[in-house]
Structure 1
Amino acid sequence: IKKGEFISIVGPSGCGKSTLFKVITGLLTEYTGKVWIEENIVKDKVISYLPQKDLLLPWKTLYENATIPLEIGGIKKEQWEDIITPLIKEFGLSGFEKRYPHELSGGMRQRGGLLRSFLIDSDLMLLDEPFGALDALTRSSMQEWLLKIWNKYNHSILFITHDIEEAIYLSDRIYIMSPRPGKFLDELDIKFPRPRKKDIILSQKFLKYKGKILEKLR
């Protein structure tokens, strides 16, 4: 993965997509071989990881949840507000700082989870189906919002999704995995210019990409 690149991984349920993320982050240690990122073995590298469930701590407010990476990272408490406040606005969470997770909509919770992941000092973000539980309209707006944030801050993103159209719309490249035991079947370069507009999903080129992925997954 290149710096600032957006890569998606698609494949059937149970093929090992989430397991791959656990290996990359070092959460899973029982495997053969080694995983290297920027010439460092993963156990020596901090990775920003948002699992399928946002894992916001229910007894902490949105703002308090956002402070966790800063506290772990050794950032002085008097600096937290200056770091978090601009990002609260950037992530569309203004006015929700004192809300608890159960008081937030699904989309707002995911923004909160992404904010906390973003505050981890890492150039690589792993996002495991972050929009999978959202309704279609919220999901669509969150996709556009994620691209806006990604374009501005230039993080490298590995993104797991079951939604082929989502993968094509968001990604520079897509890796296609086989059923269990999971192997990579193909790599697909997505050649749409950026910034992208939603109307590309109606284009013949988009449909050809979708058809190619579906053919590989059959």
Structure 2
Amino acid sequence: MKVLKTEKLSKNFNDIKVLEEINLYVNKGEFVSVIGPSGCGKSTLFKLITGLIKEYEGEVFVEGTESRSYKSPIAYMPQKDLLLPWRTLYENASLPLEVSRKSRESFKERIMPLIKEFGLEGFEDCYPGELSGGMRQRGALLRTFLIESDLMLLDEPFGALDAITRMDMQEWLLEIWRKHNHSILFITHDIDEALFLSDRLYVMTGRPGSIDLEIKVNEPRPRRREVLFGEKYMEHKRNILKVLKK
């Protein structure tokens, strides 16, 4: 089952064409990445999918429903964590439940097991300024996770982290994904990150952004970092670089 599908999706801002005929899909339970140069329209693509931008050409289907008619929320984490500095980690995590008007009596039962699972136990009463970069990203992902949506859109969630923390977060995200079987569309600039995380990935050209290459990553899971140095992965990297350098 395809939880997301776009057909000939295009977007202009005034006279500037940002996206041109984007055709992609995400199957249920699949991890799909989009990689491309800065300014190619990746973040705009997410805003079209979530309905933050409503005017476009082409079609977007979420769980088989055209996006303009899709009523349920879509879990979307932008590039910055956007944790509210005046709210504790627990209070930030509770925002999706507040918006969906869940009873406050149910918050603790829903949030606290996930705080432990996300490696944040003991920090629930801390404010964002008291947390490390990696912990802030976990908190933002926790808040995104609490949106009742099978489809998760993650826009470069690890882009601001140092290399070691970034690798730790990648492996942690895969554990969470395997356990809960969400369907993920993930934006990144990092070729190794895309190859390590994904079942499939799409490579976009510079503006106007269009999909030039689709790669299926057939390595079994769980994956070891060593696969990134294998000949198949090196071939994928060479093919991706050819598109990115166009």
Question: The TM-score by the shorter chain falls in which range?
Answer: over 0.9
Structure 1 residue 201 displacement after superposition: 1.4
Identity %: 62
Larger strand percent: 2
Q: Residue type matched to 1:126 in 2?
A: L
Is residue 87 from structure 1 mapped to residue 110 from structure 2 by the alignment? no
Give the alignment partner of residue 23 of structure 1, picking from 7, 31, 48: 48
1:36-88 per-position Cα deviation (integer Å, ceiling 9, x unaligned)? 11121224231100000011111100000011111112221111111111100
Partner of 2:81: 54
Q: CA separation in 1, counterparts of 2:220 and 2:236? A: 15
Number of residue-to-residue matches in the alignment = 218
* Counterpart Cα distance in 1 of 2:94 and 2:118: 15
Deviation of the 1:34 alpha carbon: 2.8
SS in 2 for 1:15: coil
TM-score scaled to structure 1, two decimals? 0.98
- SS of equivalent residue, structure 2 residue 142: helix
Superposition map of 1:163-178 within 5 A:
163-178=190-205
- Quick one: distance in 2 between partners of 1:51 and 1:62? 18
- Alignment-derived partner of residue 65 in structure 2: 40
Higher helix share: 1
Q: Distance in 2 between matches of 1:117 and 1:162?
A: 21
Deviations 1:142-191 (A, max 9, x none): 00000000000000000000000000000000101010011110111011
- Report what 2:27 is aligned to: 2
- 1:203, 1:38 → 2: CA distance? 36
Moved more, 146-155 or 205-214: 205-214
Give the C-alpha shift of residue 209 in structure 1: 1.3
Q: Which has the higher relative contact order, 1 or 2, with Cα contacts under 8 A spaced 6 or more apart? A: 1
* 1:141 corresponds to: 168
With normalisation by structure 2, the TM-score equals 0.87
Equivalent AA in structure 1 for residue 55 of structure 2: E
Unpaired runs of 5+ residues, structure 2, are 1-25
Higher alpha-carbon deviation: 123-132 or 34-43: 34-43
* SS of residue matched to 1:71: helix
